[in-house]
């Protein structure tokens, strides 16, 4: 068996310890003679799995009691519709457009009510986060929406927007659990788990209790009501059970690593190795303004599309996988989530140094 360094943006690298444990338990989960995949979601065994997963997540993020944790299906993208359907009481919401994911959420919200794009960084290919200290937040906005870490463009909010008292809603898919987060700053925060936590198809929603009401837009499907899932403790129907199990293991791994402060330090250290190299390189350069750089997704280019393609091909041959940039952006992107070891980042930088020597004219 040989594992590569996988820089995929998602689905992405998971901790090896977690995968090994899951493999060990595949045929016989703790003496019950079956896999978690084969188990009733109403069983005692599974109840323990989902209850522990929630408690471990609560411990990691210090989630207050007045917030509910929901394990749902539909990935991050279903939240683009679930959020307006459940939260647009006045039919108005403000969106800050910092990339494709925020834009998709905005477009979806336009179907259900009056969505306003109150700021955008589209003018410079989403290479920065707009100044959000004094935005024209709508008087009657039900919420202000952001995508906190922009997976494709590699930007991250370093300070949250001034929402002028309105509820903040955030998509944290690609920075979830990469650093501590003050949940009380948000009304609702959610993330698809395949970026930093677990298998694709599942999303974790952390929502303040007062936002969970019967009062949803007319025609909202039952499966898309937060209240249904909150009342049923994420067991209204069969939940993404195997996903919950793997996420639970990752939460335990994060706790054993020392928690989110430790992860943040590790992530800062890892990203610094790559950004320092990019800042000094004569061949490669980063595409994001320094103040807004993500610790998780690092896009870079040589400025020559043919050379970029050569880099992607040669890096793959060297065991550094999935460095091709997003199909809409080109160039390269290294996603260096929690489970990417520092050795992987060092190996990438060594390879880039070598490539630079060979290809700098």
Ligand X SMILES: *Cc1c(COP(=O)(O)O)cnc(C)c1O
- Could you tell me which residues come within 8 angstroms of residue 361 by beta carbon, excluding any fewer than 6 positions away? none
**Identified catalytic residue from 56, 94, 101, 324:** 101
The correct pick among 173, 178, 294, 338 for binding ligand X (CB under 6 A) is: 173
User: Does 171 interact with ligand X (rule: CB under 6 A)?
Assistant: yes
Residue 65 is a catalytic residue: no
User: Does 77 interact with ligand X (rule: CB under 6 A)?
Assistant: yes
User: Does 151 interact with ligand X (rule: CB under 6 A)?
Assistant: yes
Closer CB to ligand X, 192 or 198, in the complex? 192
Closer CB to ligand X, 173 or 287, in the complex? 173
User: Does 10 interact with ligand X (rule: CB under 6 A)?
Assistant: yes
- Kindly state the number of chain residues that form the binding site for ligand X, as judged by CB under 6 A: 12
User: Does 147 interact with ligand X (rule: CB under 6 A)?
Assistant: yes
The correct pick among 174, 196, 216, 302 for binding ligand X (CB under 6 A) is: 174
Closer CB to ligand X, 156 or 270, in the complex? 156
**Identified catalytic residue from 142, 171, 292, 308:** 171
User: Does 95 interact with ligand X (rule: CB under 6 A)?
Assistant: no
User: Does 192 interact with ligand X (rule: CB under 6 A)?
Assistant: yes
Residues tagged active-site: 101, 171, 195
- Which residues contact ligand X by CB under 6 A? 10, 75-77, 101, 147, 151, 171, 173-174, 192, 195
């Amino acid at each position: 068996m040989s594992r590569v360094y996988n820089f995929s943006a998602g689905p992405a690298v998971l901790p090896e310890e977690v995968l090994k444990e899951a493999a060990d338990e595949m045929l016989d989960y703790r003496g019950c003679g079956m896999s978690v995949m084969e188990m009733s979601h109403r069983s005692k065994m599974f109840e323990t799995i989902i209850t522990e997963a929630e408690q471990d997540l609560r411990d990691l993020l210090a989630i207050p009691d007045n917030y509910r944790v929901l394990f749902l299906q539909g990935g991050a993208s279903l939240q683009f519709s679930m959020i307006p359907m459940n939260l647009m009481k006045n039919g108005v919401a403000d969106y800050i457009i910092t990339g494709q994911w925020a834009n998709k959420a905005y477009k979806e919200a336009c179907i259900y009510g009056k969505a306003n794009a109150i700021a955008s960084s589209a003018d410079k290919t989403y290479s920065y986060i707009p100044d959000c200290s004094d935005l024209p937040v709508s008087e009657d906005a039900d919420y202000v929406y952001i995508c906190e870490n922009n997976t494709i463009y590699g930007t991250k909010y370093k300070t949250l927007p001034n929402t002028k008292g309105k509820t903040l809603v955030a998509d944290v898919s690609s920075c979830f659990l990469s650093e501590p987060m003050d949940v009380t700053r948000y009304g609702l925060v959610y993330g698809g788990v395949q970026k930093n936590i677990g298998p694709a198809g599942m999303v974790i929603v952390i929502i303040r209790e007062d936002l969970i009401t019967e009062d949803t837009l007319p025609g909202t499907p039952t499966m898309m009501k937060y209240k249904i899932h909150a009342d049923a403790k994420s067991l209204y129907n069969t939940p993404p059970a195997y996903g919950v199990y793997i996420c639970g293991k990752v939460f335990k791994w994060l706790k054993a690593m020392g928690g989110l402060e430790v992860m943040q330090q590790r992530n800062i250290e890892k990203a610094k190795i790559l950004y320092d190299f990019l800042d000094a390189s004569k061949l490669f350069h980063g595409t994001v303004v320094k103040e807004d750089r993500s610790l998780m997704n690092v896009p870079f280019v040589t400025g020559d599309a043919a050379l970029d393609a050569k880099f992607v091909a040669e890096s793959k041959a060297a065991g550094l996988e999935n460095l091709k940039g997003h199909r809409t952006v080109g160039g390269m992107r290294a996603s260096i989530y929690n489970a990417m070891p520092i050795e992987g980042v060092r190996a990438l930088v060594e390879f880039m140094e070598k490539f630079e020597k060979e290809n700098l004219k």
